[in-house]
Structure 1
Amino acid sequence: MNRNRFRLLAIGTMLIVALTLPAQQTPAGSGSTDQHSAQSGMPSVEQHLKVLSEKLDLTDDQQSKVRPILQEMHDGMQNVMQDQSLSPEERHEKMKALHMKADKQAREILNDDQKKKLDQLEQEPHPELHGNPNA
């Protein structure tokens, strides 16, 4: 169980970091819906939702339910990243807790097939998540 949680955290962190590249490349005046995210290097909620929607075939209803979960995780992660009083270990633990909470909430919305796709997504490399538009 702990091995699966660690794998999940590692993949989730990879997704967050991987989605950072496109966010960093967003020009300041491009009309980005989340200006602060682009400046902080974090992927926007919409970018994260888009990847999950494409990979898991989320319905419109599921997207509307997942969006606030991603927003809460995103806001929490921004706060953690900005908290200079935290040690790297504390920052890692807080990020891990935020991701685990979001993962648990999101999985409640997914059907069994989508959960399997998410499990597979977490196990395989995905070049398209690393800022490679040709993937």
Structure 2
Amino acid sequence: MKKFALRFALLALSLSAAGFASSAFAQDSTPADTGSASPAMTRHAAPDPQKQAARLTKRLGLSDDQSSKIATILQNRQQQLATVRGDSSLSPQDRRTKMRSIQQDTDSQINTVLTPAQQTQYANMKQQMRERMQNARNGNSSGHGDDSHSTGANNGGSSGNGN
């Protein structure tokens, strides 16, 4: 049961993080936001779509129009994920599959809003998050924090293992 809970937590984190990587790059945002909730609470609660959009706006240099569209996409994603999480008729496998599908659809929608240069930067952000999560799964705490800006050149290998 502990392994299942850990896997589910990692899945929830990867779905939130892989698509938006923004929470990993939000080191300059208010630490009280991340420190006030317990890990058990944040495991199931999706990050605030408005905050995610603001972080992506800052990181990707989004226009007001892009930011607004992405905020709407993220709000829709949050609602869809909440519906899936609340559906007790789904098996854990089906829940994971649906959540991954929602995340992939969200990524596709976001990419239609971004310029080619922003798409590349967004893909790099997601790759960095995957690498950080892989490091966390492997017990390497060094993948958390200061490395976020130096891992962009190392885009190989570990992303296909867990998600």
Structure 1 spans left out of the alignment, 5+ residues = 1-8, 27-36
Deviation at 1:25? 2.5
In 2, Cα distance between the equivalents of 1:94 and 1:76? 9
Q: Which runs of 5+ in 2 are unaligned?
A: 1-10, 24-32, 133-143, 149-163
- Cα gap change, 1:105 to 1:23, in 2 (>3 Å): same
SS of the equivalent of 2:104 reads helix
Query: Is residue 112 of structure 1 aligned with residue 116 of structure 2?
Result: yes
Q: What's the C-alpha RMSD, in Å, of the aligned pairs?
A: 3.8
Measured in 2, the distance between the counterparts of 1:107 and 1:47 equals 18
2:98 equivalent to 1:87? no
Give 1:15's aligned residue: 17
Q: Percent identity?
A: 27
Q: Tell me the amino acid that sits aligned with residue 25 of structure 1.
A: S
> Are residues 95 and 116 of structure 1, via their aligned partners in 2, closer, same or farther at CA, if it must alter by over 3 Å?
same
Partner of 2:36: 25
Structure 1 length as normaliser, TM-score? 0.66
The CA distance in 2 between the partners of 1:52 and 1:76, in whole Å, is: 20
1:23 positional shift? 6.2
Equivalent in the alignment of 2:58: 54
Assess if the C-alpha contact under 8 Å between 2:16 and 2:47 holds in 1.
no
Correspondence for 1:30: none
Say whether the 8 Å CA contact 1:77–1:98 is kept in structure 2: yes
Question: For the Cα contact (< 8 Å) 2:74–2:106, is it kept in 1?
Answer: yes
Counterpart CA distance in 1 for 2:76 and 2:90 is: 20
Q: Give the aligned residue type for 2:115.
A: N
The runs of 4+ residues in structure 1 deviating greater than 4 Å are: 9-12, 16-19
Q: Which has more radius of gyration?
A: 2
Quick one: distance in 2 between partners of 1:82 and 1:123?
Answer: 29
Say how many residue pairs are matched.
114
Normalising to structure 2: TM-score of the pair? 0.56
Q: Residues of 2 paired with 1:54 and 1:64: CA distance?
A: 13
**Aligned AA (1:95):** M
Determine the structure 1 residue equivalent to 2:103: 99
